[in-house]
Amino acid sequence: MRYLSQEWLDETRAMAADQPVRPGASARIQYVVTGGPDGGVEYGWELQDGQLLASHLGAIADPDLTITAPYADWVKIAQGSLDMSAAFMQGVVKVAGDTGIWLRLLPITQSLEYLELQGRIRAVTEYPEA
């Protein structure tokens, strides 16, 4: 399925249903992807205690965080060739909003469960060129 489509968001949310509960890992996150094959894309995630409750295209009201990066870099992150923490430290990924929440969520991206989930998502995702 096509990266950043609503179908992809729906499927990745379903695939994430087996992620462990992580008390306090809650946030409303707005993702902004610039320079994609069809222009910019925005999508939102709603996390509660590590569970992905909702994911949808478009803007969300009152996000705790807004995370912005170019499409090519989001693809590298999604494919596992660019670490999210490193991308943030290099200034590739821009974070606005409550950075305390961001810093609490980042370690989850290195957990065995999350890395395994990312591998399953990569296996079913098509990444169009920009």
> Distance between CA 27 and CA 87 in Å, rounded?
20
Residues 9 and 42: beta-carbon distance below 8 Å: no
Query: May I ask the CATH class of domain 6-123?
Result: alpha beta
In this predicted model, what pLDDT tens digit does every residue of 36-86 receive, in sequence order? 999 999 999 999 999 999 999 999 999 999 999 999 999 999 999 998 889
Q: What is the mean pLDDT of the chain?
A: 95
Rounded percentage of the chain residues whose pLDDT exceeds 90: 92
pTM: 0.93
> Distance between CA 70 and CA 10 in Å, rounded?
22
Domain limits, the chain: 6-123
In this predicted model, what pLDDT tens digit does every residue of 8-45 receive, in sequence order? 999 999 999 999 999 999 999 999 999 999 999 999 99
Closest CA to 69 of 33, 29, 30: 33
